[in-house]
């Protein structure tokens, strides 16, 4: 019953009234995103790069919910991304000619795009549920193997299905995506991840990560929570896939291999398992890294098939970075903390602990 | 035997009841015909030499293991086959012999995990109706958290208050924002009890709560346990190695050896029991000292 004056509960000092706190980030984010879109509309390359970066952030932040917060090692995230990409891609392809007559064409396209995205996300979430329900009773390595297998199954299924264009992939998906849309979803996934982390649900996930037996004994429905975190994570992976499908010229099974899954795992581990901002920073870094290397090589004067060369050495570089990181900072960049916990002292920081 | 069961000191309906519980791992009989009744206000001890099956008994009571035979009832409800978290929701909380805190979480968050608004409305209703209700409640709960509704914020504040209160009771207020793994050993043990209390139990099972403590700390802890029993109106079952300690505070003791209940009753009665002395000191002791002490 005590209320320590030195450490008021954070809610008490916030200037935003309780009823508005839920919607407040959205009110801030929408104008910021609009401004962002307006500033950016000139350069197609920047648009593309930022979109890729945004998709990677969504993937990393969503995988962090499972791998970081819940401590379940899933390495099939690209599989869920593929489900979202193909389902929403096929949907958009088939709805290409459809227009909602009561809306202007552009708005109608965006509405259909949103629907396609959501359907893709829900399909991925359903896959997450189907894969998660039996396999989340397994621990550690076993779960990793099951998710790995799932990712490969999806890829093989796609490769052998006519509707998904087999190995050639799907082309001609309308390019509905925009940085505005991508970063709106980035915003959503970050908001969801942070709000989960700050709620009793998030604490239950952390508890499972820390000690499953104790969590169960303290009344946490461990299997239920693991499945739910898996479903939420898969949903956003599906959304990321859907966004991806609507700004790249072609999607094929090669975009969703084990390598892609590992790339996302690397982002999460690099950022620090459990740190949402860490996942964001790592995703940005690892998206820009190949570009940075490309310009570096350009400056060095190596001409020719540069893109290929950079692509070829990207994986060794990932590997080396992981090794170096694991040796120097086994807990990742931020560990379990968020960026504001590790900022210099003079920046006002949040109270320690979760939320 | 049933007379001994009746001898429990507490009042009211039995909160926790084990009836002829046996558990077998392959050929190993870890626990045979184990019976126990705990009522509100009880402070009972469960003792026995190493490997006697004390912790196994705890694990059966809390649902970690399923009994091969017999049945366990919590608050009158049969809990065989329920999962540990469901049994916990029915009012049974425990601590662990080897401390199992959520190490990277702060002391406050450790307790808040346990305090969380118990999502399941009908933990014992495992039929379709109960499951559907629980699922719906859980779904609403998630949305409240994601939308950060005022109601969610109120609940969260309430959880914090409860957790702070429990930390205060256990004398851990000064450790509120400290990570559990950084607490000294004795405080970790107390935090485990605070966490168990967070689940609002009716019965508290303590697995060697005084392990690794010195005599003074042990004595303090036992006083505290008694106080908790009275303040929170609990039934308490303590596993303890230290005979002297258990004899001092428990009103009723069950002695296990090789999975079998070899004695039960008031401390004085148990202390002079031939089988107990044999189990603890070996029969050569009996021979050289000429029978019961």
With CA atoms as reference, report the closest residue to B260 among B35, B4, B69, B67. B35
User: Which of A:144-203 have CB within 8 Å of B?
Assistant: 191-192, 195-196, 198-203
Q: Are B14 and B42 in contact (CB under 8 A)?
A: no
A2 at the B interface (CB within 8 A)? Answer: yes
Q: Do B102 and A207 touch (CB under 8 A)?
A: yes
Which of A200, A230, A338 to probe the B interface (max B CBs under 10 A)?
A200
Q: Are A235 and A79 in contact (CB under 8 A)?
A: no
Tokens (6 digits) for B164 = 């702070």
B7: pLDDT confidence band, cut at 50, 70 and 90?
very low
Element (H, E) at A20: helix A18-21
Q: Chain B residue with minimal CA distance to A26?
A: B147
CA–CA–CA angle A241, A47, A56 (5° rounding): 35
The CATH classification of domain A42-342, taken from the options 1.10.405, 2.40.160, 1.10.3470, 1.10.10 = 1.10.3470
What are the domain boundaries of chain A?
42-342
Q: Chain B residue with minimal CA distance to A18?
A: B150
A251 at the B interface (CB within 8 A)? Answer: no
Mean pLDDT for chain A overall: 83
With b for 16 or more beta-carbon neighbours within 10 A and e for fewer, the A147-181 pattern comes to bbebbbebbeebbeeeebbeeebbeebbebbbbbb
Q: Give how far A215 is from chain B: nearest CA, Å.
A: 8
With CA atoms as reference, report the closest residue to A273 among A72, A138, A55, A52. A72
Please state which of the ranges A284-288, A317-321, B40-44 shows the lowest mean pLDDT.
A317-321
Tokens (6 digits) for A215 = 């969590």
Question: Which of A201, A218, A351 has its CB closest to that of B145?
Answer: A201
How many beta-carbon pairs under 8 angstroms link A with B? 133
Q: Do A210 and B102 touch (CB under 8 A)?
A: yes
Longest dimension (CA), chain A: 71
DSSP A69: I
Q: Are B270 and B291 in contact (CB under 8 A)?
A: no
Rounded CA separation A63/A57 (Å): 10
Does the pLDDT of residue B210 top 90, yes or no? Answer: no
Domains identified in chain B and CATH numbers: 2-289 (3.40.50.300)
B127: pLDDT confidence band, cut at 50, 70 and 90?
low
The predicted structure's pLDDT at residue A90:
93
Does the pLDDT of residue A303 top 70, yes or no? Answer: no
B182 or B215: which leads in pLDDT? B182
Q: Do B83 and A213 touch (CB under 8 A)?
A: no
Q: Chain B residue with minimal CA distance to A353?
A: B106
Which of B86, B87, B146 to probe the A interface (max A CBs under 10 A)?
B146
Q: Chain B residue with minimal CA distance to A191?
A: B146
Question: Which of B83, B105, B153 has its CB closest to that of A206?
Answer: B105
**pTM exceeds 0.90 for this model:** no
A354: pLDDT confidence band, cut at 50, 70 and 90?
low
Chain B partners of A191 at a C-beta cutoff of 8 Å? 146
Radius of gyration of chain A (CA): 21
Q: In this predicted model, what pLDDT tens digit does every residue of A110-144 receive, in sequence order?
A: 899 999 999 999 999 999 999 988 888 777 778 88
Question: Which of B103, B117, B146 has its CB closest to that of A200?
Answer: B117
A246 at the B interface (CB within 8 A)? Answer: no
Q: Do A21 and B148 touch (CB under 8 A)?
A: yes
Question: Which of B94, B161, B177 has its CB closest to that of A217?
Answer: B94
Does the pLDDT of residue A54 top 60, yes or no? Answer: yes
Q: Give how far B255 is from chain A: nearest CA, Å.
A: 25
The predicted structure's pLDDT at residue A9:
43
Average pLDDT over residues A14-36: 80
A307: pLDDT confidence band, cut at 50, 70 and 90?
low
The predicted structure's pLDDT at residue A232:
96
Rounded CA separation A340/A336 (Å): 12
Q: Do A219 and B104 touch (CB under 8 A)?
A: no
Question: Which of A2, A203, A222 has its CB closest to that of B173?
Answer: A2
Mean pLDDT for chain B overall: 84
The predicted structure's pLDDT at residue A79:
94
Please state which of the ranges B82-86, B88-92, B114-118 shows the lowest mean pLDDT.
B114-118
Chain A partners of B150 at a C-beta cutoff of 8 Å? 18-19
């Amino acid at each position: 019953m005590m209320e320590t004056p030195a450490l008021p509960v954070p809610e008490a000092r916030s200037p935003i009234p309780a009823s508005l706190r839920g919607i407040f980030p959205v009110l801030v984010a929408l104008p910021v995103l609009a401004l962002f879109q307006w500033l950016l509309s000139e350069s197609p390359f920047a648009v593309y790069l930022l979109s890729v970066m945004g998709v990677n952030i969504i993937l990393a932040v969503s995988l962090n919910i499972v791998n970081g917060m819940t401590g379940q090692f899933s390495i099939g995230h690209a599989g869920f991304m593929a489900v979202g990409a193909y389902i929403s891609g096929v949907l958009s392809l088939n709805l290409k000619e459809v227009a909602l007559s009561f809306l202007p064409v552009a708005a109608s396209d965006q509405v259909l795009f949103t629907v396609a995205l959501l359907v893709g996300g829900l399909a991925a979430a359903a896959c997450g549920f189907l894969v998660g329900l039996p396999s989340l009773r397994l621990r550690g390595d076993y779960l990793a193997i099951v998710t790995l297998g799932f990712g490969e199954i999806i890829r093989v299924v796609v490769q052998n299905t006519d509707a998904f264009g087999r190995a050639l992939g799907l082309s001609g998906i309308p390019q509905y995506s925009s940085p505005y849309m991508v970063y709106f979803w980035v915003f959503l996934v970050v908001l969801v991840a942070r709000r989960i982390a700050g709620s009793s649900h998030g604490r239950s996930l952390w508890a499972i990560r820390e000690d499953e037996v104790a969590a169960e004994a303290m009344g946490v429905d461990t299997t239920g929570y693991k499945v739910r975190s898996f479903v939420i994570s898969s949903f956003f992976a599906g959304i990321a896939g859907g966004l991806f499908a609507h700004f790249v010229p072609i999607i094929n099974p090669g975009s969703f291999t084990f390598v892609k899954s590992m790339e996302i795992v690397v982002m999460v581990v690099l950022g620090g398992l459990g740190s949402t901002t860490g996942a964001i920073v790592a995703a940005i870094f690892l998206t820009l890294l190949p570009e940075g290397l490309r310009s570096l090589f350009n400056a060095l004067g190596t001409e020719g098939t540069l893109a290929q060369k950079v692509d070829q050495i990207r994986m060794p570089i990932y590997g080396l970075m992981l090794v170096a990181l694991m040796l120097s900072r086994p807990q990742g960049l931020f560990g379990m903390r968020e960026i504001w916990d590790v900022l210099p002292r003079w920046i006002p920081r949040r109270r320690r602990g979760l939320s | 035997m049933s007379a001994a069961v009746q001898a429990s000191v507490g009042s009211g309906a039995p909160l926790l009841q084990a009836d002829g519980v046996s558990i077998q791992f392959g050929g190993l009989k870890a626990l045979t015909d184990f019976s126990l009744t705990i009522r509100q206000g009880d402070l009972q001890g469960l003792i026995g030499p190493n490997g006697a099956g004390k912790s196994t008994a705890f694990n059966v009571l809390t649902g970690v293991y399923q009994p091969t035979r017999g049945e366990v009832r919590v608050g009158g409800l049969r809990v065989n086959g329920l999962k540990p978290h469901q049994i916990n929701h029915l009012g049974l909380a425990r601590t662990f012999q080897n401390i199992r805190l959520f190490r990277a979480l702060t002391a406050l968050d450790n307790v808040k995990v346990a305090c969380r608004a118990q999502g399941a409305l009908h933990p014992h209703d495992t039929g379709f109706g109960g499951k559907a209700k629980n699922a719906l409640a859980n779904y609403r709960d998630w949305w409240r958290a994601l939308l950060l509704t005022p109601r969610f914020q109120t609940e969260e504040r309430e959880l914090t208050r409860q957790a702070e209160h429990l930390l205060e009771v256990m004398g851990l207020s000064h450790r509120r924002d400290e990570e559990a793994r950084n607490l000294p050993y004795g405080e970790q043990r107390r935090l485990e009890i605070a966490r168990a209390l967070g689940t609002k139990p009716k019965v508290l099972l303590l697995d060697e709560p005084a392990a690794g403590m010195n005599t003074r700390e042990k004595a303090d802890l036992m006083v505290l346990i008694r106080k908790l029993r009275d303040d929170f109106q609990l039934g308490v079952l303590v596993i303890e190695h230290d005979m002297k300690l258990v004899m001092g505070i428990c009103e009723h003791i069950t002695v296990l050896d090789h999975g079998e209940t070899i004695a039960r009753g008031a401390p004085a009665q148990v202390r002079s029991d031939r089988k107990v002395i044999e189990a603890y000191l070996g029969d050569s002791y009996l021979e050289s000292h000429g029978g019961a002490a």
